[in-house]
Amino acid sequence: MSSSHSHLRKMKENILLGLCVVALIITMVPLFSILISIFVNGGNVIDLAFLTELPKAVGETGGGIANAIQGTLILVALASFIALPVGMIAGIYLSEYKSSRLAWVIRFFSDVLTEFPSIVIGIFAYTVIVLYIRSFAAFAGAVALAIIMIPIVTRTTEEAVRLVPNGLREAGIALGVTRWKTIVRIVVPAGRSGIVTGVMLSVARAAGETAPLLLTAFNSFYGFSGLLKPIASMSMYIFIFSISPFPDWRAKAWGAALILMLMILALSVVVRSVTHGRYPARV
Amino acid sequence: MQNQEKKSNKKILSALLIVAIVIVAIGAYYYSTNAPSTSNTMTSETMNQLITLNGAGATFPFPLISKMSSEYNAANPTIQINYQSIGSGGGIRQFMVKTVDFAASDAPLSDAQYANVTGTSSLHIPFTIGGVVPTYNLPNIASGVRFTGPILADIFMGKITKWNDPQLAAINPSVTLPDKDIIVVHRSDGSGTTFVWTNYLSNVSPDWKQNVGKSTSVNWPVGLGGKGNEGVAGIVTQNPYALGYNEFAYATINKISFGAVQNAAGNFVTPSLESFTAAVQASSTALPNGDSNWSRVSIIDSLSTNTSASDAYPVTSFSYILIYKELNVLPGMDLARARALVNFLWWAVHAGQNYAPPLEYVPLPSSVVTLDEATIKSITFNGQTVFQG
Amino acid sequence: MQTFHRKRVEMKNLSAQPHFSLKATERSLMTRITADKIFKIFTAAMASSILLILVAMVFELYNQSKLSIDAFGFSFLWGTVWDPAITQVFGALPLIYGTIVTSLLALLFGVPLSLGTAIVLSELSPQRLKSPVSFIVELLAAIPSVIFGLWGIFTLAPFLRDNVYPALQAALGFLPIFQGPIYGLGVLTGGIVLAIMIIPTVSAVSRDVLAAVPDSQREAALALGATKWEATMTVMSYGRSGIIGSIILGLGRAVGETMAITMVIGNRFDTFTSLFEPGYTMAALIANEFTEATTDLYLSAIIEVGLILFLVAMAINVLARFIVWRSLRMVRGAVLE
């Protein structure tokens, strides 16, 4: 009786554990499907012209997405310029003064903001900037991206700095260094690899965002023409090209996706190899 | 651990360095290929000054505007016309809030919109003519399907649901239509193409006129929504047994099947440059001045009662450029940009028309060109006429 | 502060004696404390900008929605008409309905897969495999939404339309949710894409929760004769509130998802019955119609939809974070913050 019962339990266990493994495998399928689709379809399209030329008129073949690559880099660089200082300093505050109630509240809402609908952030940037200056602007897009980046940078900076052993802080104070200098000169540099991780994660996230740019940076078929003017970006091109009927554009959508994915993959791999999974590589 | 930290720091730094180099390289390459050349024929005030003009609006004329912008930029490298096709509804909106330099729309401003323009006048500049055609995706049936107006209205209202419905079969004796559901595709955004299509459906179906109406954005009874002409054409190409409506260029560029539509004379007219031209010639609409209210202008309306225009395609429409008469209401506008814009418009209604026929758009009749010339000449900046001739 | 003043007085009294260094110490003590205070205030101000942004967002959204709120009041939430053309009547029920249905579908498909993955990663796999496998799952999180949409349009939807949906309709077509024409793009496809997108979130947080469960629990269960599976179930029930929190986090992600959904859901304003039909979500409507709203009331209605989305996402995320935070705190026995 007991042996058949334990047989049953064993069988049940094997089936259920097997199902878990199946779940893991099923999870992998879309990932590989996406990566393979991107590499195969995108690879067909990419050549030097694709990377260095402007798009041609619809219906014509040839041309490229050079301005979209440039646009994404500019938007992300500008957004980082705003978000990195703010996020890093905020993260330092949350880590070093973590016992204050203000810190608790900020940390809580910063977490909430990390996975917030980016379209709503886009609406905010539209009403505050685009309507105000009455033009779609690269600057507005950068601000929207910065708002998306700040919570990520804050959180990862906080966790990286917090992991710095207290001994360093105590040593600094013991040597007579002021608290703020201890933090800035000793503690933060000690946590720099975690901070850089956060920077790369937020950059990867910002590079792929589309929804906020729909309402702010708009789009352009030309190169950068000023911070207060519309600008192209890879994510917008992927969106516009993929829902279009022009076969040439649809092919280019895959190419743009490939370039974007390569950027993001590069950042993710560097992050992973640097941190060896020590820091949470996701928020 | 120290060495590992050093190694990973080196890795990070070199990665960032590579990225920075790539950015600078692309930027440098781009700027070097886009630097204004000294051998262009612009006047001295515009030489070496890169001017970007932003427009938005209809997807209907987008293939033509795209071609015009690219050709104009090739001839005038310092002037870039950046046009985004977001739908006529979007174009009108951005025009009204003055976030673009010009807009394009297949639907003229409505009475309310026209009245809302204060401080200066809105100008309608018809710059091309096209046709809206029923596009479909039927395996093994590349062409030859015919529709009547009432049947199209019933399909888009969900009353006719199958391809082999008796009414459709009756007018298509030479085609075997499949026993499949019709996948209706319409616009999800505010669209001048929709305005044109529903204008036609409202004329041929009292039921449609009453329950759905004519507008850039309607309450579609059935179907999938696509964004822009591009989106609708995209969905039609992806889904067998789909039926949508598109500006003709989208059908031809993408080799999508399109059907013939019955006109007021009772003939099933296949969309083509010739049938659109016949439609324009048969419509005797006297056009108002550029700064007047254009909401009543409709080639479709004037065709709907014309029983003698045998070759006219019934769903033909103007596409307009919308611009303000006094350009100083636009932020960031200056005399150089105003000149560039006006010169582009002048070129568009003259030499630019040569690019229309290959894309199956109808070149403007000379009477319309004359009207447009007067409208363009009336554009001012700070009270001063912009066009220099 | 009082100690500081007392010390100053003491030092003044001592200054009768020539102690230059004391004066220097007194001065530097002041600057040190002030500098520290300034630093604290400065960093706190930067950190507070996050709260400022949130507050500004709510304020701006409400401001811009006023026109629509005044026109429709609460009936906006259950209105079923979206007519920007003739009557200018707007209502958000089909949007809310579509958002709820697609999110529930995402949970239905995504949660079992996520939990299975989390269990494998935390309980089953050998140490060597954990890192690369979890890296791959994290890669799924790094893929931008628009690329999910691209893959959805060209790869997933045609595959489902040609291979899966007809079989589904053949087998379960008597249910109203599987009836009607099969488009490929539609609610079910949207739900499946969302499910894939929330897996990284739910599985990662669940894995953290499970990893935080002390080994003593596992060992105790095994010692009492449980199979590996039964021990795992014990661990899961120990961390159940954290897992629930992770599921709600996934829900928050699904609710706010825009690009992928817009590209595959069919964009049709309607309270659908069949899952094969096209539908609409709050986020998809905003993305499609925002730049094209032709009247002020239209734009205000769209922004009001954005406000509703904001509040819903806020509520879900706050709830989720709170539950996860509390659970991790309980489980770890340490203060997380």
Taking residue B84's Cβ as centre, other Cβ atoms within 10 Å add up to: 24
For residue B330, give the H/E element and its range: none
Give the helix, strand, coil percentages of chain B, each rounded to 5: 45, 20, 40
- State the smallest CA–CA distance between residue B247 and chain C in angstroms: 19
C182: which strand partners? none
Decide if A125 contacts A141 (C-beta within 8 A). Answer: yes
Amino acid identity of residue B279, one-letter, is A
- Residue C70 in domain: no
Both B125 and B149 in one domain: the answer is no
Both C271 and C180 in one domain: the answer is yes
> Judging by beta carbons within 10 Å of its beta carbon (0-12, 13-18, 19+), is residue B136 exposed, middle or buried?
buried
- Residue C186 in domain: yes
CB of A220 within 8 Å of a chain B CB? The answer is: yes
CA distance B197 to B182: 18
Looking at residue C21, its pLDDT comes to 52
Nearest CA in chain B to A245: B234
* Residue at which a domain ends, from B303, B326, B349: B303
Contact A154 C50 (CB under 8 A): yes
Structurally, chain C folds into a number of domains equal to: 2
CA distance B254 to B276: 20
Provide the pLDDT confidence category of residue C258 given band limits of 50, 70 and 90.
very high
Judge whether residue C56 has pLDDT over 50.
yes
Residues in chain B within 8 Å Cβ distance of A273: 8, 11
Looking at residue C1, its pLDDT comes to 54
- Residue C21 in domain: yes
Judge whether residue C235 has pLDDT over 90.
no
CA distance A41 to A255: 7
Residues in chain A within 8 Å Cβ distance of B359: 59
Model pLDDT for residues A80-120, shown as the tens digit of each residue: 999 999 999 999 999 888 888 888 899 889 888 887 899 99
B5-14, B31-40, C209-218: which is most confident: C209-218
Contact A115 C141 (CB under 8 A): no
Average pLDDT over every residue of C328-336: 56
- State the smallest CA–CA distance between residue A259 and chain B in angstroms: 13
Residues in chain C within 8 Å Cβ distance of A254: 150
**Sign of the C-alpha dihedral, residues C289, C290, C294, C298?**
positive
CB of C256 within 8 Å of a chain A CB? The answer is: yes
Contact C184 B238 (CB under 8 A): yes
CB of A274 within 8 Å of a chain B CB? The answer is: yes
Both B209 and B229 in one domain: the answer is yes
Provide the pLDDT confidence category of residue C293 given band limits of 50, 70 and 90.
confident
Judge whether residue C336 has pLDDT over 50.
no
Residue A67 dihedral angles phi and psi, to the nearest 5°: -70, -30
Looking at residue C333, its pLDDT comes to 56
Contact B218 C157 (CB under 8 A): no
Both B116 and B141 in one domain: the answer is no
Closest C-alpha to C189, from C268, C285, C102: C102
Quote the crossing angle between the two packed helices C228-238 and C215-223, to the nearest 10°: 140
Q: Who has greater pLDDT, C213 or B6?
A: C213
In sequence order, the 6+-apart residues with CB closer than 8 A to the CB of A106 are A90, A93, A94, C47, C48, C50, C51
In sequence order, the 6+-apart residues with CB closer than 8 A to the CB of A115 are A283, C201, C249, C252, C253, C256, C317
Judge whether residue B42 has pLDDT over 60.
no
Q: Return the residue matching tokens 């989106």.
A: B231
Span of B174-183, B252-261, C9-18, C222-231 with lowest mean pLDDT = C9-18
Judge whether residue C315 has pLDDT over 60.
yes
Looking at residue A282, its pLDDT comes to 44
Residues in chain A within 8 Å Cβ distance of B69: 57, 221
Residues in chain A within 8 Å Cβ distance of B11: 270, 273-274
Q: Who has greater pLDDT, B149 or B11?
A: B149
Torsion of CA A46, A237, A79, A208, to 10 degrees: -70
- Residue C317 in domain: yes
CATH of the domain at B146: 3.40.190.10
Contact A112 C317 (CB under 8 A): yes
- State the smallest CA–CA distance between residue C41 and chain B in angstroms: 31
Looking at residue C87, its pLDDT comes to 77
Decide if C91 contacts C178 (C-beta within 8 A). Answer: no
- Residue B101 in domain: yes
Probe site for chain C from B219, B229, B232 (most C CB atoms < 10 A): B219
CB of B74 within 8 Å of a chain A CB? The answer is: no
Out of C124, C140, C201, the one facing A20 most closely (by C-beta) is C124
Both B135 and B182 in one domain: the answer is yes
> Judging by beta carbons within 10 Å of its beta carbon (0-12, 13-18, 19+), is residue A81 exposed, middle or buried?
exposed
Tell me which residues of chain A, numbers 140 to 179, contact chain C at a CB-CB cutoff of 8 Å: 147, 150-151, 154, 178-179
Reduce the secondary structure of A123-174 to three states and give it as a string. Answer: HHHHHHHHHHHCCCCHHHHHHHHHHHHHHHHHHHHHHHHHCCCHHHHHHHHH
Looking at residue A159, its pLDDT comes to 86
ipTM of the complex: 0.87
Looking at residue B24, its pLDDT comes to 65
Contact B52 A221 (CB under 8 A): no
Both B138 and B255 in one domain: the answer is yes
Residue C69 dihedral angles phi and psi, to the nearest 5°: -65, -45
Model pLDDT for residues A30-58, shown as the tens digit of each residue: 989 999 999 999 988 888 888 888 888 77
Tokens of residue B247, six digits: 């500006």
Judge whether residue B373 has pLDDT over 90.
yes
Both C136 and C6 in one domain: the answer is no
Strand B257-258 relative to strand B146-147, pairing: unpaired
Looking at residue B36, its pLDDT comes to 38
Both C28 and C103 in one domain: the answer is no
Span of B25-34, B41-50, C248-257, C294-303 with lowest mean pLDDT = B41-50
Both C143 and C42 in one domain: the answer is no
- Residue C24 in domain: yes
Both C299 and C266 in one domain: the answer is yes
Contact B63 A57 (CB under 8 A): yes
SS3 label, residue B27:
helix
Both C146 and C115 in one domain: the answer is yes
b/e string for B294-328 if b means 16 or more Cβ within 10 A? bbebbbbebbbebeebebbbbbbbbbbbbbbbbbb
**CA separation, residue C134 to residues B17, C109, C137 (Å):** 28, 20, 5
Range of the domain at B177: 131-271+295-303
State the DSSP code for C292: G
Both C142 and C209 in one domain: the answer is yes
Both C26 and C146 in one domain: the answer is no
Residues in chain C within 8 Å Cβ distance of A280: 208
Taking residue B255's Cβ as centre, other Cβ atoms within 10 Å add up to: 10
Provide the pLDDT confidence category of residue B46 given band limits of 50, 70 and 90.
very low
Probe site for chain B from A135, A242, A270 (most B CB atoms < 10 A): A135
* Residue at which a domain ends, from C15, C30, C64: C64
Structurally, chain B folds into a number of domains equal to: 2
Range of the domain at C51: 2-64
* Intra-chain end-to-end CA distance of chain C, in Å: 28
Provide the pLDDT confidence category of residue C84 given band limits of 50, 70 and 90.
confident
Both C58 and C83 in one domain: the answer is no
Decide if A86 contacts C46 (C-beta within 8 A). Answer: yes
* Domains observed in chain A: 65-275 (1.10.3720.10)
pTM for the model stands at 0.82
Both B115 and B146 in one domain: the answer is no
CB of A226 within 8 Å of a chain B CB? The answer is: yes
The neighbours of chain C, by the rule of 3 or more Cβ pairs under 8 Å, are A, B
Contact C47 A93 (CB under 8 A): yes
Judge whether residue B1 has pLDDT over 50.
no
Both B78 and B135 in one domain: the answer is no
Residues of C with CB under 8 A from a CB of B: 81-86, 153, 157-158, 161, 181, 183-185, 262, 266-269, 278, 288-289, 291-294, 299
Q: Return the residue matching tokens 């489980």.
A: C331
Contact A120 C306 (CB under 8 A): yes
Judge whether residue C3 has pLDDT over 80.
no
- State the smallest CA–CA distance between residue C229 and chain A in angstroms: 5
